[in-house]
Amino acid sequence: MENKTYGIIGLGKMGLNLAFNATDKGYKIVGYDMHTPAGVNKENLVFADSLQTLIDQLPRPRKIFIYIPAGKAVDMVIGELTPLLDKGDIIIDGGNSYWGDSIRRAEKLKEQGLYLIDCGTSGGTSGARNGACFMIGGDKEAVSHIEDLLKDLAVPNGYTHCGASGSGHFVKLVHNGIEFGMLQAIGEGMDLLEHYREKLNISEILYTWNHGSVVRSWLIELMKQLYDEKQGFNVPSYVEDTGEVNWLVSDAMRMEVSIPVISQSVMQLIASRDKDHTSPKAIAMMRNGFGGHPFGTDAGIEHERHYGRVGGYDEEK
């Protein structure tokens, strides 16, 4: 009989929504978090008050997902789990861990007779709840124990076993890099539309683009949704990110693979956070030094910038 009971450590937005998704499909989930979600009462979802309690409720081979932020915390959780597990048990890291860390962890656990599967997860919280996209790396035998669940939790065709340990998180990292490039390109497109010589109906343009155009996508859909909701681009430009694509840029340099668009998208994101703007101040100082360019605005120079060229679409103005 198929073992349809799984553990999930980390019941934040991703972990809890995946738990809901799984229980809807007939799986039993035993969840553990330092802060148990309040007001959650769902059939086939039980909360453990400790890792030992979680382990005690899982049949062998135990299959335990970890959905916590990447970094040392993952090593800590694995370190606390391993003494409680038996040979053949499986840990699945569903966070955005660095692929090199996943290889290291898998090799160490293999020495103890345990398995680590790296599970790149895409689709956000909505995907976790309604159908995600999974990119898996790890031992084939171990993967075979969780494949049915992941296919059930994924959208149709939203599952692939990429290869050995580390490959799932590497593929997810490349995915995130492509996402950065797409975000930057769409953002620059919005800037161009916003600065056209006459007012454009950006909401309608975005709607149209998502019906048959080459750039139709979920990101365009989200762009329209948020543009309408915020009544324009009325949000701060500062955006945080968790830094995974920085790792990809570093990997690309070591691999000697040219990724200018992805790299520049990271630089632009960093630039959006620069409130002090030291670099333009430094440039202004040097331009003043070599060319006598004034600091701040200057009506005469502004006029020259706009009207110094004769010809082009502006010539009648």
Reported as a single tens digit per residue, the pLDDT across 228-287 is 999 999 988 777 788 889 999 999 999 999 999 999 999 988 888 877 777 777 778 788
Give the 3-state secondary structure of residue 122.
strand
**Mean of pLDDT values over 50-74:** 94
What is the number of other CB atoms lying within 10 angstroms of the CB of residue 27?
A: 20
Predicted local distance difference test score (pLDDT) of residue 312: 61
The 10s digit of each residue's pLDDT in 106-133 is: 999 999 999 999 999 999 899 999 999 9
Mean confidence (pLDDT) of the chain: 91
Q: Identify whether 179 is a catalytic site residue.
A: yes
**Would the pTM of this model clear 0.95, i.e. be above it?**
no
**Mean of pLDDT values over 159-182:** 96
**One of 108, 147, 179, 221 is an active-site residue; which one?**
179
Q: Identify whether 108 is a catalytic site residue.
A: no
Residue 315 has pLDDT above 50, yes or no: no
Kindly report each contact of residues 75-80 with a partner whose C-beta sits within 8 Å and lies 24 or more positions away, as own/partner: 75/101, 75/105, 77/9, 78/105, 78/109, 78/116, 80/51
The 10s digit of each residue's pLDDT in 212-229 is: 999 999 999 999 999 999
**One of 28, 172, 224, 244 is an active-site residue; which one?**
172
**Mean of pLDDT values over 41-52:** 90
List residues bridging with 137 in a β-sheet: 118, 163
Predicted local distance difference test score (pLDDT) of residue 271: 85
Radius of gyration of the chain (CA): 25
Q: What are phi and psi of 50, to 5 degrees?
A: -160, 165
Confidence class for position 88, pLDDT limits 50, 70, 90: very high
Q: Give the chain's domains with CATH numbers.
A: 5-169 (3.40.50.720), 203-232 (no CATH), 278-307 (no CATH)
Sign of the torsion formed by the C-alpha atoms of 100, 104, 109 and 114: positive
231, amino acid identity: Q
Predicted local distance difference test score (pLDDT) of residue 1: 46
User: Whole-angstrom Cα distance, residue 99 to residue 167?
Assistant: 7
Predicted local distance difference test score (pLDDT) of residue 42: 81
Answer with the residue of higher pLDDT: 283 or 61.
61
Query: DSSP states of 233-284 as a string?
Result: S-S-S-----SHHHHHHHHHHHHT---HHHHHHHHHHHHTT-SS-HHHHHHH
Q: Which two tokens stand for residue 99?
A: 């692929």
Confidence class for position 314, pLDDT limits 50, 70, 90: low
Predicted local distance difference test score (pLDDT) of residue 239: 76
